[in-house]
């Protein structure tokens, strides 16, 4: 069963790009004591993710922070180097680009999708969450499009 509002995020070790290369981080460290907007995309550099999903959060980062958000985190089943390059390509320096290279976080949340038919393997579903001190307050999932997971929808929910 997928994670739901009221559930605690699983404590998983993932990676971000540090000053000297990939750096291990735990989800418990990223979310503890903070109000966080977490959004996931099926793949970095993919058309919808690059044209609309990530840019929406970049453009609205200040508005999200003005509503009390401490951190905005983007995750995808991609490696640290890809997530870092994608973030730089979209001026997402104010966001945490969280690499779920093995899909462990997506699996632990039970929010995966099988994209093997299009040569992408097992990926994350497209979702957006509001997380307060490691507890999920809101979870929106989009099977198609960005109606439920856009930055604007999350802004309205805050």
Please classify residue 115 by burial: count the beta carbons closer than 10 Å to its beta carbon, then call 0-12 exposed, 13-18 middle and 19+ buried: middle
Choose the catalytic residue: 16, 30, 38, 49. Answer: 49
Angle at 109 between CA 23 and CA 103, to 5 degrees: 45
Known catalytic membership, residue 49: yes
How far, in Å, are 35, 98, 134, 154 from residue 13 at the CA level? 20, 10, 14, 26
Q: Cα(26)–Cα(13) distance, rounded to whole angstroms?
A: 4
CA–centroid distance for 136 within its chain:
13
Which residues carry out catalysis? 49
């Amino acid at each position: 069963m997928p994670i739901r509002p009221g559930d605690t995020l699983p404590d998983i070790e993932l990676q971000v790009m540090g000053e000297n290369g990939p750096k291990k981080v735990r989800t418990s460290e990223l979310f503890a004591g903070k109000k966080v907007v977490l959004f996931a995309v099926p793949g970095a550099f993919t058309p919808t993710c690059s044209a609309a999903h990530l840019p929406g959060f970049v453009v609205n980062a200040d508005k999200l922070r003005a509503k009390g958000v401490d951190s905005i985190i983007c995750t995808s089943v991609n490696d640290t180097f890809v997530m870092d390059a994608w973030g730089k390509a979209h001026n997402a320096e104010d966001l945490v680009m969280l690499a779920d290279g093995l899909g462990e976080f997506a699996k632990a949340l039970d929010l995966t999708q099988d994209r093997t038919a299009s040569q992408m393997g097992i990926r994350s579903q497209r979702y957006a969450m509001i997380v307060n001190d490691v507890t999920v307050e809101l979870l929106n999932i989009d099977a198609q499009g960005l109606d439920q997971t856009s930055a604007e929808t999350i802004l309205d929910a805050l």
